[in-house]
Amino acid sequence: MAAPVIVSAGVASSMNCAQPPMVQMECGRSASCIRSASPPTTANCQHSEVSFAIDGAGNLYGTTSQGGANQCFAGCGTVFELSPTSTGRWIEKILYNFKFDSSGFGPGGGVVIDQAGNLYGTTINGGSQNCGCGVVYKLSPQLGGQWQYTVLHNFIGIDGAQPDANLTLDDNGNIYGTTLTGGPGGAGVVFELTP
């Protein structure tokens, strides 16, 4: 598998998705639309986060901080896949709908992909019942096209809170990231999670 890369994509909002460099995100409004050809809905065009991960087959993976099948304030968010077709269109598939619970909701950035095709990301809400400070999660592809969601870390405040940026992976499987708040001084932390 080719090494995954990240394409900067700007922030897109509902009904008027931005047109970031290299990736058109104007949902449902043109023949060259990278998203689905249907009109924008809460499921397919709600605040797409800052970057995409790309696998060796050219599929794009990203998140929305709102929308999806479950209700929080404006939807709990999603992780989605966009797959290119031979006609130049893209097919969207929702891989995971976040829930209003302790497993995390409101993705705090895009996703990153490892060599095995696992996706990693963060949420700024959910996690520890005492804090609701967010989580680091992993989505693993399963047989039959399903994806397994696993919480890798629940932030509790002293170790950081509200991770709101993309993660970085190294060749040893270590995960690096930042939080907006929390930590000993309350101004956020840089963290490392080891396998």
Q: What is the pLDDT along the chain (195 residues), one digit of tens a residue?
A: 333 333 333 333 332 333 333 333 333 322 233 433 333 344 444 445 457 899 999 999 999 988 888 888 777 999 999 999 999 999 999 999 999 999 999 998 899 999 999 999 999 999 998 899 999 999 999 999 999 999 999 999 999 999 999 999 999 999 999 999 999 999 999 999 999
| DSSP code for 181 | B
Q: What is the pLDDT of residue 50?
A: 57
Q: Write out the DSSP string of 109-166.
A: S--EE-TTS-EEEEEEE-S-TTT---EEEEEEE-GGG-EEEEEEEE--BTTBB---S-
- The domain locations on the chain are 5-155
Query: 5-155: what fold?
Result: Thrombin, subunit H (2.40.10)
Query: What pLDDT, on a 0 to 100 scale, did the predictor assign at position 75?
Result: 78
Are the beta carbons of 151 and 135 closer than 8 angstroms?
yes
What is the distance between the alpha carbons of residues 84 and 134, in angstroms, rounded to a whole number?
32
What's the token pair of residue 92?
């969207």
Residue 26, pLDDT score: 35
Burial-class residue 153 by CB neighbours within 10 Å (0-12, 13-18, 19+).
buried
Q: What is the pTM of this model?
A: 0.77
Q: What pLDDT is recorded for position 67?
A: 84
